[in-house]
Structure 1
Amino acid sequence: MTLIQERPLTYAKMKGLVTFISGRSVKPSDFDYLKVIGTGSFGKVLLARHRKQGGYYAVKALDKQTIIKRNEQRHVMVERSVLLKGLKHPFLVGLHFSFQTPKTLYFVLDFANGGELFYHLQREGSFPEPRAAFYAAEIAAALGYLHSLSIVYRDLKPENVLLDSEGHVMLTDFGLCKEGVAVGGITHTFCGTPEYLAPEVLLGQPYSLAVDWWGLGAVLFEMLSGLVSLTGLSFASLFSASLTHWIGLRPLSELKEHQFFASINWDDLIARKVRPPFIPKVTGPCDVCYIAPAFTLQPVPASVHDRAEAAASSATFSGFSFMNPERRLTEGHKRSDEIYYL
């Protein structure tokens, strides 16, 4: 998402404003890389501007050698797959392009310059209940959509919840997702961030989609109290904690009926008609005032200025490259208001 302060454009209106790149591959030199806005195990996330169309994007650049050395190829391809499946949801970060060079994998994603939920919690300590309920509801809508696609997210934490320039949630980082987990299905892999993991994951037991609702409870607890839910709490007390017990195993359809969300009109929420309780004060689409200086003060790595042409998919990352025909490189681009689903 390029973050211009205007209402979402319909597809019909958007067609007249865009130039669609076709007939050639996207390559690293198509972008100017302006700031580091995030880091990870395999590379960095950079704010980038497309040189011709002018749109701003979050470009996730991953080092192939590091991925292969750690045997994480499957997680990268799962992230790509989930990004493709989540293209039409308003609270999931969207993929515009993915491409590769001989050394690097690139995801070109929506840039949400409202910052991480983690950043705001660090600054404010906790949120008033209406604000916490709003974020929890939008996160729940995103998780419910993933569950409808038989995807368990498994990595919910404040660092993976972004705010766009209008104050709406955008869930990101899908590398730990597991596909093919239908309602009632189970999986076994131990993964995630310990402070937000459900007890059955920590105990090495089989688990289901419900672990994401536990994670939501943990994040909600943190939003309201300013405390990480496992800090100083035993499993016994955690099970009875008022903000986590009720959410533990409930599907979205039941969660929506809980009195904690009584003020939420879910139809309006998914249509982005509910006014966010906090609207970031950004000056434009490249404003990084809500991105932690620990990221933005880092130098942009020289490796991202790769002048190599986009490479054909290698055997290791076969099928990685992607160009979304519904997403155009344009400074005025926003998600169509015709493609929101719950």
Structure 2
Amino acid sequence: CVCVCVWQVFQVRKVQGAQTGKIFAMKVLKKAKIVCNAKDTAHTRAEREILEKVRHPFIVDLLYAFQTGGKLYLILECLSGGELFMQLEKEGIFMEDTACFYLGEIILALGHLHSNGIIYRDLKPENIMLSQQGHIKLTDFGLSKESIHDGSITHTFCGTIEYMAPEILTHSGHNRSVDWWSLGVLMHDMMTGSPPFTAENRKKTIEKILKCKLNLPPYLTVDARDLIKQLLRKSPVKRLGSSQGDSADIQKHSFFKQINWDDLLNKRVEPPYKPQLHSDEDVSQFDTRFTRQTPVDSPDDSTLSHSAELAFAGFSFVAPSVLESLKEGFSFEPRSRHVRRHNSSPRTPISPLKFSPAGPFKLAVEGEADLFSPTSPPAAPPSVPLENGPASRPIKTPSRNKKKKGHQR
């Protein structure tokens, strides 16, 4: 069976206490949508716990988590640079030095996750966001798995088909090496315009991943071709990054010979593309199918049994960085909120951040003041041509289709 996770994501502004006026992204989930499925509940809790545990320059920051009687809320940093997917859509493919920059930041993020016993399992352009400065941030940890260290394996069937490693598809058990397979798929996607194994339906796509030989276009450099080949080895034990060295082994590859990894980690390397943003509320980097939607928060009138509520015990959280800034004694109180949708099937749209276009957005429990309100983004600015330096000149390819994740079964 295919699990369906129902989230909504809003752009909101904090209206009380510390950080008043600051823009955040708010993910909202109805408890009733997941409480009937133990695996859905476990994945939701895992995402919240992973985001609390992990702090890294290239992973989205969780600021708050709270709940009401019927809903769960995650307040995350707002990444108004949009999805890497949209940047790929605009440019068609990336030139090698552009791909090298993004892949380098992703490798550092994945390596940090692995060092904490976490495998990501859903690496794809839709889950890679860009900050206002143009640096990447991994988001959406609903399919991630904790406590996977050297020698550990897990058997959950999950991910996005085109990016799933063969060992996941064959149910033969997998470890952190699956993230390096996905990195190879992503690199191929960035530099050729599509994943290496695609077909008109899931079954044929899976057959290609398991059986077909990798074919690379001749215009790729020797280093790029070699790295893709080493990442896309069907045997996980032969795959680059599968040894104890993990990300360090990939960082040593000649494709990254121009990278100073310390400078990259500390954001001293200029991104190849900086989003053209006109205000904190600018949502021009997102698909207008989502930014034009009117935010609607359904009443929080649902109640769960006591035993069902126990599944969400301990969900609330305030980041240490926020606590340190609470000089005036402000205490964060949970308010009532709402939800976004991920369905299953290969490479079809998974909702990006839904940024609210206008209007007051009542999120508080009756009788209480709002802590967050939706923003009213300005009219979309005139389109600004991308910077077309030698590292980022667009080469148009056929339009991309977004992919939805296939959850566990």
Interval of TM-score (by shorter of Structure 1 and Structure 2): 0.7 to 0.9
Match of 1:191 among 144, 158, 165: 158
The structure-2 alpha-carbon separation of the partners of 1:307 and 1:289, relative to structure 1 and needing over 3 Å to count, comes to farther
The structure-2 alpha-carbon separation of the partners of 1:58 and 1:234, relative to structure 1 and needing over 3 Å to count, comes to closer
Calculate the TM-score normalised by the size of structure 2: 0.66
Secondary structure at the aligned position of 2:190 is classed as: helix
Distance in 2 separating the partners of 1:181 and 1:122: 34
Distance in 1 separating the partners of 2:300 and 2:215: 53
Give the equivalent residue in structure 2 for 1:42.
Answer: 6
1:12-31 counterparts in 2 under 5 A?
A: none
Match of 2:229 among 220, 245, 256: 245
Do the aligned partners of 2:70 and 2:300 also contact (CA within 8 Å) in 1?
no
Q: How many residues align?
A: 286
Instruction: Report the alpha carbon displacement of residue 128 of structure 1 after superposing the two structures with TM.
Output: 0.9
Distance in 1 separating the partners of 2:61 and 2:209: 38
1:252-267 counterparts in 2 under 5 A?
A: 252-267=247-262
Give the equivalent residue in structure 1 for 2:50.
Answer: 82
Report Cα offsets for 1:277-330 as digits up to 9, x if no partner: 101111122110001112112221222x7699xxx9931201100111213698
Instruction: Report the alpha carbon displacement of residue 244 of structure 1 after superposing the two structures with TM.
Output: 2.9
Distance in 1 separating the partners of 2:141 and 2:209: 29
1:178-327 counterparts in 2 under 5 A?
A: 178-231=145-198, 233=208, 235-238=210-213, 242=225, 244-247=228-231, 248-250=239-241, 251-303=246-298, 314-327=309-322
1:40-119 counterparts in 2 under 5 A?
A: 41-52=5-16, 53-71=20-38, 72-86=40-54, 88-119=55-86
Distance in 1 separating the partners of 2:164 and 2:187: 14
Give the equivalent residue in structure 2 for 1:15.
Answer: none
Give the equivalent residue in structure 2 for 1:142.
Answer: 109
Percent identity of paired positions between Structure 1 and Structure 2: 41
Do the aligned partners of 1:55 and 1:329 also contact (CA within 8 Å) in 2?
no
Distance in 2 separating the partners of 1:124 and 1:327: 37
Do the aligned partners of 1:44 and 1:61 also contact (CA within 8 Å) in 2?
yes
Give the equivalent residue in structure 1 for 2:343.
Answer: none
Instruction: Report the alpha carbon displacement of residue 237 of structure 1 after superposing the two structures with TM.
Output: 4.2
Distance in 2 separating the partners of 1:236 and 1:102: 49
Distance in 1 separating the partners of 2:135 and 2:150: 27
The structure-2 alpha-carbon separation of the partners of 1:238 and 1:285, relative to structure 1 and needing over 3 Å to count, comes to farther
In structure 1, list runs of 5 or more residues that go unmatched.
1-39, 331-342
Instruction: Report the alpha carbon displacement of residue 176 of structure 1 after superposing the two structures with TM.
Output: 0.7
Secondary structure at the aligned position of 2:35 is classed as: helix
Distance in 1 separating the partners of 2:132 and 2:51: 21
Do the aligned partners of 1:268 and 1:274 also contact (CA within 8 Å) in 2?
yes
Instruction: Report the alpha carbon displacement of residue 231 of structure 1 after superposing the two structures with TM.
Output: 1.5
Report Cα offsets for 1:20-64 as digits up to 9, x if no partner: xxxxxxxxxxxxxxxxxxxx8312111000013000001000111
Do the aligned partners of 1:126 and 1:225 also contact (CA within 8 Å) in 2?
yes
Instruction: Report the alpha carbon displacement of residue 234 of structure 1 after superposing the two structures with TM.
Output: 5.3
Distance in 2 separating the partners of 1:281 and 1:205: 45
Instruction: Report the alpha carbon displacement of residue 93 of structure 1 after superposing the two structures with TM.
Output: 0.2
In structure 2, list runs of 5 or more residues that go unmatched.
200-207, 217-224, 232-238, 326-409
Give the equivalent residue in structure 2 for 1:336.
Answer: none
Give the equivalent residue in structure 2 for 1:123.
Answer: 90
Do the aligned partners of 2:167 and 2:174 also contact (CA within 8 Å) in 1?
yes
Distance in 2 separating the partners of 1:95 and 1:224: 31
Do the aligned partners of 1:238 and 1:244 also contact (CA within 8 Å) in 2?
no
Give the equivalent residue in structure 1 for 2:335.
Answer: none
Higher alpha-carbon Rg: 2
Distance in 1 separating the partners of 2:46 and 2:160: 18
Instruction: Report the alpha carbon displacement of residue 255 of structure 1 after superposing the two structures with TM.
Output: 0.5
Instruction: Report the alpha carbon displacement of residue 111 of structure 1 after superposing the two structures with TM.
Output: 0.7
